Amino acid sequence: MELSASSYSVNIKALNERINAKSAFVDMLLLELSKAIVGQKHMGERLLIGLLANGHILLEGVPGLAKTLAIKSLASAIDARFSRIQFTPDLLPADVIGTMIYNPREHTFEVRRGPIFANFVLADEINRAPAKVQSALLEAMQEKQVTIGDTTHKLAEPFLVLATQNPIEQEGTYALPEAQVDRFLLKVVIGYPEKEEERLIIRQNIEPQSKNKINAVVTAQEIVEARELVREVYMDEKIEQYIIDIVFATRYPKDYNLQKLQPYIAFGCSPRASISLAIAAKAYAFIRRRGYVIPEDIRAVCYDVLRHRIGITYEAEAENITSVNIIDEILNAVEVP
């Protein structure tokens, strides 16, 4: 892809040099993650994209695929506060955000903060919590604040919700509201490891635990600074148009000669999808030590950004057509700049 004339106003060479200097921690983070996680390179990179793009991540996969371990390992590799919430059907909003406690000595009410007051919050099996808990979590995710009593409390930066859900067990679970699902920057689907990877997993888990100890290699402040630099990554107008075309193809497939998809799409992606696609692509370019976005960056993050934002019809479900199949068709049809 050729950079347009407008790119000359951005010093790409200087930006590349700055990104090379500031993104050195990416390799260190991935190295620390590899101490605990064998393979799963895709998941590791997506966790970093969420971290750098300031977006929450939903991890989906069957039990035992190291979803929780990956999130705990990432938090351990960053010098920041981590908390875990095990979601259950009887969970209350106060169990997540905190509550007001009466102090009999002072005759006053004091705020007792909940586990949401951390930099990294692992929401384990998020689809097990009822609607009241989901709404409390929604405010924290979107506004980066929580309300306890009459007072609003700002959450620390960086703040990231990393949620897991089990796709096969439906008993005692609640479908996540569309408004909340849309708040997740990425939905990452985790698959089984390869045979050789599984051999390494066995070996790693029967070795002395001290060998796999994860060290903090990055500070929270460095992450905040890197996020600012990610937003400076150059995005050409042609790339912006490519993003718009992909998103609009989910809403108006006929305009892109994709009439056959019309019966399968209940609703297309919102403008939040366009924003998420742009910032995730910038974060991906940053991880690749580049100061500009190319079409391959968009395609690399497209599935994780859009798979949970396309509503499919009953007809699609009956024919075993998923949102991933729809994204496949769109990426094949939309012209690459």
Q: Are residues 223 and 248 in the same domain?
A: no
Mean pLDDT, the chain, whole residue set: 84
Smallest CA-to-CA distance from 135 within 94, 100, 104, 93 is with 93
Most confident of 41-45, 125-129, 151-155, 315-319: 315-319
Smallest CA-to-CA distance from 46 within 200, 140, 185, 179 is with 185
Residue 76 has pLDDT above 90, yes or no: no
Tell me the average pLDDT across 302-314.
91
Residue 110 has pLDDT above 60, yes or no: yes
Residue 77 has pLDDT above 80, yes or no: yes
pLDDT for 287: 92
Please confirm whether the linkage preceding 158 is cis (ω < 30° from 0).
Answer: yes
Which CB contacts under 8 angstroms, 24+ apart, belong to 16-25?
A: 16/289, 16/290, 16/291, 18/229, 18/291, 19/229, 19/233, 19/286, 19/289, 19/290, 19/291, 20/289, 22/225, 22/226, 22/229, 23/226, 23/286, 23/287, 23/289, 25/217, 25/218, 25/222, 25/226
- Rounded CA-CA distance 329/52 in Å is 29
Q: Are residues 311 and 202 in the same domain?
A: no
On whether residue 279 sits in a domain, the answer given is yes
Token duo for residue 194: 């390869």
- Tell me, what CATH number does 276's domain have? 1.10.8.80
Q: Are residues 55 and 182 in the same domain?
A: yes
pLDDT for 206: 77
- Judge contact between 299 and 327, C-beta under 8 A: no
- Judge contact between 277 and 285, C-beta under 8 A: no
Each residue's pLDDT tens digit, 254-293: 998 989 989 999 888 989 999 999 999 999 999 988 889 9
Q: By residue range, what is the domain housing residue 261?
A: 233-337
- DSSP annotation of 50 reads H
Q: Scan for tokens 């990877």, then name that residue.
A: 197
Q: Which residues contact 208 (CB under 8 A, 6 or more apart)?
A: none
* DSSP 3-state of 180: helix
On whether residue 321 sits in a domain, the answer given is yes
- Tell me, what CATH number does 126's domain have? 3.40.50.300
Each residue's pLDDT tens digit, 179-237: 778 889 999 888 787 888 788 878 877 776 656 678 888 888 888 888 998 998 999 99
- Rounded CA-CA distance 73/33 in Å is 6
Count up the domains in the chain and report the number: 2
Q: Scan for tokens 């966790």, then name that residue.
A: 47
Q: Are residues 304 and 239 in the same domain?
A: yes
On whether residue 253 sits in a domain, the answer given is yes
- DSSP annotation of 292 reads B
The rounded percent of the chain whose pLDDT value lies above 90 is 23
Each residue's pLDDT tens digit, 7-16: 445 678 888 8
Each residue's pLDDT tens digit, 120-172: 888 888 888 777 888 888 888 888 888 887 788 888 888 888 888 876 655 55
On whether residue 17 sits in a domain, the answer given is no
pLDDT for 168: 61
Residue 4 has pLDDT above 70, yes or no: no
Predicted TM-score (pTM) of this structure: 0.85
Count CB atoms within 10 A of the CB of residue 98.
Answer: 19
Q: Are residues 283 and 187 in the same domain?
A: no
Q: Are residues 307 and 222 in the same domain?
A: no
Smallest CA-to-CA distance from 48 within 67, 69, 33 is with 33
- Rounded CA-CA distance 53/56 in Å is 9
- DSSP annotation of 161 reads E
Count CB atoms within 10 A of the CB of residue 239.
Answer: 24
The rounded percent of the chain whose pLDDT value lies above 70 is 93
Q: Are residues 44 and 190 in the same domain?
A: yes
Q: Are residues 271 and 201 in the same domain?
A: no
Strand pairing category for 78-79 and 218-219: parallel
Q: Are residues 170 and 269 in the same domain?
A: no
pLDDT for 8: 43
* DSSP 3-state of 10: coil
pLDDT for 171: 56
On whether residue 263 sits in a domain, the answer given is yes
pLDDT for 6: 45
Residue 304 has pLDDT above 90, yes or no: yes
Each residue's pLDDT tens digit, 176-187: 777 778 889 999
Residues, the chain: 337
